[in-house]
Structure 1
Amino acid sequence: MPLLMLFSGIRNALTKDELGLEILQISLPTTLALAADPIASLIDTAFIGHIGPVELAAVGVSIAIFNQVSKITIIPLVSVTTSLVAEEDAAGEAQTQQSEKEMLIKASSLNLHIEDCIEQADYEFSSATYIDKVAKLEHDKSYIPSASSAIVIGSVLGVLQTLLIIFTAKPLLNYMGLDSNSPMLKPAQQYLTLRSFGAPAVIISMATQGVFRGIKDTKTPLYATIVGDLTNIILDPIFMFILRLGVSGAAITHIISQYLISLMLLWSLTKQVILLPPSIRDFQFGKILKNGFLLLVKVASVTFCVTLSASLAARQGSTTMAAFQICLQIWMATSLLADGLAVAGQAIIASAFAKGDYRKVMLSAARVLQLGLILGLVLSIIVFSLLPFGCRLFTNDNNVLQLISIGIPYVAATQPINALAFVFDGVNYGASDFTYSAYSMVMVALMTIFSLYMLSSSLGFTGIWIALSIYMTLRIFAGLWRIGTVSGPWSFLKENYAPLQ
């Protein structure tokens, strides 16, 4: 029954009702912001590809390492922050409404007393005082302890990540298959070391975005991301070709853009949220670290699968790695568009759970999953139609282009699968089902690792993409299993079938 409810009425998924508009207002700016970063990375890849296939492959390995190390800290922090902030914001909203109601009752009593006991001038003065109090209440900044807690934790994690990458860059690249004799090692190490200095800005900006997502303001992160990425695109050719810095120039421009984004977001957030709690006891370090650790287990599993696939591609040579890097960038860039729906589902579901509105929980979960499936089908058609022609923007090497043509069907066909997998993550995070998300991903990772080794050894480049397709399918199965068995936070469905229909 829960699974039937999730996909029943899919023909009405695009209806512009109240829920549909709320999802659109959150997901569209988020989708555009998420799309901006991969597009900027694709442009970076295009510029680097014109330097040479060795540099393209080298930077591909470095980007894979940096992104996967960053995801280990970013995804748990952002996901937990979004849910906690949404819950605290919903609780604060309910408290504010209750306070306003009490003030109205007191004001009403005061009005009756004034009409009976004092003159009209005194009554007007008292009414004006009450109106001023209400106006002040409405315009005060939100007090959300999880917001400041997430930023502090993000700052610490950013510094630790920078130090980790600086001191382990060469061993990490060796693990990825770049030994001392590889021509890719020097440019890869140079790019990765420089890029690591942007880690604090990346993590702080993403933690701040988690706060904005929790309060359902996704437009501000969009504006900041667009400004930062445009700066990156403009500076890329200047640093890489005019100043002749090559791959180092690409890393420097990326660092500049990330610090610009983080500063813009922090400045905007100070206007909406109180970032300095009254005392250290008001910080929510415990909640964030506890749930963050669970998601750390999940993200580590995801990271290992993707990093292993890149490592297996790198071991097959620079040509295979270059082709894999281009396909992977497009695979992730298009698939991450579904994260906009995942964020919308997470924020709305977390808020609905906090208010005990289980009907909205299920309706929201069903709607974002249906929209995710539709989005995936559209992306599949677009990728299959345009990628055969667009891949020449990234490289002119015929051997690389030949391998890309082999990967195109897999990149295109898995779009609906990827979209549903990402949206299911948002649904589970909205339900604060972090424990199940962690343990289920460990099981998925174990099966994926086995598939990657077996299929890559027998089928090479094709086998890696078949294994990645299996990996995303298993993630969907894990999401369906939790809701379908009516377990965990979804146990409310046992007694709420009728109201939800």
Structure 2
Amino acid sequence: MPRLPPALRLRPLDREVARLAVPAFAALVAEPVFLLVDSAVVGSLGVVPLAGLGIAGTLLTTAVGVFVFLAYATTAAVARRLGAGDLPAALRQGVDGMWLALGLGVVVAAAAWPAARPLALGLGASPEVADAATSYLRASLPGLPAMLVVLAATGVLRGLQDTRTPLVVAVTGALANIPLTVVLTLGPGPFPALGITGSGLATSTAQLAMASALAVVVARGARRHGVGLRPGGAGVLRSGRDGVPLLVRTLTLRAAILLTTGAAARSGDTALAAHQVVVTIWSALALGLDALAIAGQALTGKTLGAGDVAGTRDVLRRLVGWGVVLGLLSGGLVLVARTHVAPLFSADEGVRTAIAAALVVVALAQPLASYVFVLDGVLIGAGDGRYLAAAGLAGLAVYAPLVVAVVVWAPTGTAGLVWLWVAFAGGFMAVRALTLGLRARRDAWVVVGAVR
């Protein structure tokens, strides 16, 4: 039997990547289940509650998504200290990161409570829909600090090279949310029906339980190694400082998507409806790439903490290779399935045509996207947040005039949507690929030791 070429043979590093990436992917897939369950149950209440959930869900996921740096920065910092052989310091950094998450969550929840209805109206909701959105948001806001603690605690465990525990907690929370949502929303039997408010309370309750479970795991590890659980002022401030560049990076990604959506709206209702489906598929494909990036964060931080530059470079090369393979496979799948996928989302022929056409661009962009995602994860693991923020701003600076050009010169409808996605892939994503690729080739980001 012929032997595989060396580049295709499985190595111990590949098994380590799979050990981290596969559970991370499953946990990422479990997260959207919360809103899917809420949508299914609240949808039975009528159009207004479901529309209110759509507005509230957008606001809530945006608020949580902005603070994803709590997971990423914590993963990198904890992994570095672990690699340096200082597990107590790794746990200390993790505990401080969780305290930062709790503090930020309390502040954001307190600010969002009075702003809930104005925010819903600002997104174009009718007064009735805004009332429903406000009810859901205010019921779920007590769980917002818990959501951010879940991010930070997940980052701690990823930094400790454990992605299985967050998976178990994510899946358990998603499953527990199903009966909670049904009972609190619909009120079967002796239970009172709380409507959309009950759905928000169920989400809040599940998130509080998840945060508690993860906090217990981290606290046990901390106590086992003599690490106190009280917040350290310097450590909390350091966690916040390390997270600011990653916050800027995240905001540039969200701004690019918002620009794309706004431009799609100018191409007409058909293009906007198709764009919503296409961006959802793009986000779903990103889950697999995110899992590789998470493995990159954990492994890069660990190898740099241990002073293993050769190992860090090996991680980079291997992850880029697997990322491109995954991008080619997912892109090929989208290319083949696009005409079969479109009818699943709309009965309108124009929308179907626009979806299928735009998915050609999405398919062709997958290898490029995988390259960007993997490099992003490796550089996050290296603690290179300032450069990532600058790269995101550069991508946005190039993409914004491209969007304007598409709006001004491109035709509306399907053609306009296709050109918009060409601009996104060939502008924003291409600039990020160029800037991150140039960075990865150099040594400025390869800083060894427990602290960058």
- What TM-score do the two structures reach when normalised by structure 1? 0.74
- What secondary structure, in the 3-state scheme, does the structure 2 residue paired with 1:272 have? helix
Aligned with residue 268 of structure 1, among 209, 213, 217: 217
1:288 aligns with 2:233: no
Conserved 8 A contact 2:159-2:298: yes
User: In the alignment, does 2:85 pair up with 1:85?
Assistant: no
Q: Are the equivalent residues in 1 in contact too, given 2:77–2:90 (CA < 8 A)? A: no
Bigger mean CA deviation after superposition, 49-58 or 366-375: 49-58
Deviation of 1:331 (Å)? 1.7
Deviation string 1:83-110 (CA, Å, 9 cap, x unpaired) is 11111222235xx8xxxxxxxxxxxxxx
- After superposition, the Cα gap between the structure-2 partners of 1:194 and 1:389, relative to the gap in structure 1 and judged at 3 Å, is farther
Aligned counterpart for 1:163 among listed residues 76, 93, 110: 110
Which whole-Å CA distance do the structure 2 matches of 1:480 and 1:449 have between them?
22
What amino acid is aligned across from residue 426 of structure 1 in structure 2? G
Tell me which structure has the larger Cα radius of gyration: 1
Instruction: Spell out the pairing of 1:202-351 with structure 2 (5 A cutoff).
Output: 202-236=147-181, 248=197, 250-274=199-223, 277=228, 284-313=235-264, 323-351=274-302
- Measure the CA separation in 2 of the matches of 1:254 and 1:40: 7
In structure 2, do the counterparts of structure 1 residues 49 and 281 end up closer, same or farther at CA, with 3 Å as the change threshold?
A: closer
C-alpha distance in 1 between matches for 2:243 and 2:394: 19
Q: 1:251 to 1:318 in 2, by over 3 A?
A: farther
Structure 1: which amino acid aligns with 2:175?
L
1:268 aligned partner, one-letter code: V
1:33 maps to amino acid: A
Distance 2:166 2:49 in 1: 32
* 2:304–2:446 contact (8 Å) kept in structure 1: no
Deviation at 1:51, TM superposition (A): 7.2
Match of 1:422 in 2: 373
Change (3 A) 1:59 1:13: farther
Q: 1:415 Cα shift? A: 2.9
Q: How many residues align?
A: 433
* CA apart distance, 1:215: 0.5
Distance in 2 between the 1:62 and 1:315 partners? 24
Deviates more, 1:247-256 or 1:434-443: 247-256
- Structure 1, unmatched stretches of 5+, are 1-9, 97-140, 493-501
Decide whether aligned partners of structure 1 residues 491 and 238 sit closer, same or farther in structure 2, where only a CA change above 3 A counts. closer
TM-score, normalised with respect to structure 2: 0.82
| CA deviation after TM superposition for structure 1 residue 361, in Å | 0.8
Q: Pick closer, same or farther for the CA change 1:472–1:240 going to 2, 3 Å.
A: farther
Distance 1:305 1:321 in 2: 16
Root mean square deviation, CA, Å: 3.6
Larger displacement relative to structure 2 (199-208 or 463-472): 463-472
CA drift at 1:14: 5.0
Aligned to 1:30: 24
**In the alignment, residue 32 of structure 2 is paired with which amino acid?**
P
Partner SS, residue 370 of structure 2 = helix
- The structure 1 residue matched to 2:57, chosen from 63, 74, 99, is 63
- In structure 2, do the counterparts of structure 1 residues 295 and 349 end up closer, same or farther at CA, with 3 Å as the change threshold? same
Alignment-derived partner of residue 324 in structure 2 = 373
**Structure 1 Cα separation of the partners of residues 419 and 50 of structure 2:** 22
- Is contact 1:384–1:409 with CA below 8 Å preserved after alignment? yes
Contact 1:456–1:463 (8 Å) recurs in 2: no
Label 1:11 to 1:42 Cα distance change in 2 as closer, same or farther (>3 A).
farther
**Structure 2 CA distance for aligned equivalents of residues 249 and 326 of structure 1:** 28
Q: Is the 8 A contact 1:158 1:200 kept in 2?
A: yes
Q: CA deviation at 1:211?
A: 0.2
Question: Does the Cα contact within 8 Å between 1:143 and 1:273 map onto a contact in 2?
Answer: no
- What is the alpha-carbon distance in structure 2 between the residues aligned to residue 17 and residue 345 of structure 1? 16
- How far the C-alpha of 1:373 sits from its partner, in A, is 1.2
- Whichever residue aligns with residue 164 of structure 2, its letter is K
Flag structure 2 segments of 5+ consecutive residues without an equivalent: none
Q: 2:421 aligns with which of 450, 462, 465?
A: 465
Deviations 1:456-488 (A, max 9, x none): 45445445433432322322222102123x252
Structure 1 contact 68–307 (Cα < 8 Å) conserved: no
Does 2:9 align with 1:15? Answer: yes
CA distance in 2, matches of 1:25, 1:367: 14
**Percent identity between the aligned chains?**
27
Between 315-324 and 191-200, the greater mean CA deviation after superposition: 315-324
Indicate if the aligned counterparts of 2:263 and 2:407 stay in contact, CA closer than 8 A: yes
Separation in structure 2 between the aligned mates of residue 409 and residue 44 of structure 1, nearest angstrom = 32
Give the Cα–Cα distance (whole angstroms) in 2 for the partners of residues 396 and 246 of structure 1: 30
